[in-house]
Amino acid sequence: MVTLRRIRENDLQQIMDWRMDPEITRYMNTDPKLTLEGQLKWFYKIQSDPDVDYYMILVDEQEAGVLNLTGLTREDGILGWAYYIGEKKLRSFQTAITLELGVYDHIFDDLGKQALISDVFTLNRGVIQLHLLCGAQITEEKKGHIVKNGIAYDVTFMEMTRDNWYRIREGKKHPALIFPK
């Protein structure tokens, strides 16, 4: 069962360890060298930022990864999102589907937003295929968009719109995903 809770200060060491794991960072825009002091500053900053929400992903009540929403205060109703599962043993197709479809329900039903966007390293074919399977569409591909450690990476931009989700969701069976207040 996949559930969410707000991240807590005592999660920061685990989040830091996941975020610096080469298996995770290879698909991210940066390879940070984090410190607990820096994590604390980040945590307190996001706690007071109405534009972002961060959640701990739990799989069968075990901490598994982090999900974030950005752009909550944008007037155009477009949000960004990302997530990762840091615990390898808790990664599964079912978890990914539950997260993706549950985020769509939350964004469009609970928050009344118009679109959800993401950017994915083009080499991360599995995530791109997952987004496509769930109904998202590719809006753009930029060659060499991110340069990290001297290597240029192509990035695929994707979007799920409210209208598209409402058109296709009847065929997408999934367990509810509750977003804590």
Q: For the segment 165-181, what is each residue's pLDDT rounded down to a tens digit?
A: 999 999 888 899 999 98
Asked, for residue 148, whether it belongs to a domain, the answer is: yes
Asked, for residue 181, whether it belongs to a domain, the answer is: no
Asked, for residue 111, whether it belongs to a domain, the answer is: yes
Cα separation, 88 vs 80, whole angstroms:
24
Give residue 37's pLDDT: 96
pLDDT in tens, 129-159: 999 999 999 999 999 999 999 999 999 999 9
C-alpha 1: how far from chain center: 18
Number of domains in the chain: 1
**Residue 116 near residue 159 (C-beta atoms within 8 A):** yes
pLDDT in tens, 14-49: 999 999 998 888 888 888 889 999 999 999 999 999
Asked, for residue 179, whether it belongs to a domain, the answer is: no
Asked, for residue 180, whether it belongs to a domain, the answer is: no
Residue 96 belongs to domain with CATH number: 3.40.630.30
pTM across the whole model:
0.94
43: domain range? 2-171
Among residues 62, 61, 63, 44, the alpha carbon closest in space to that of 52 is found at 44
Tokens for 16, please give them. 């830091």
The values of phi and psi at residue 83, to 5°, are -160, 165
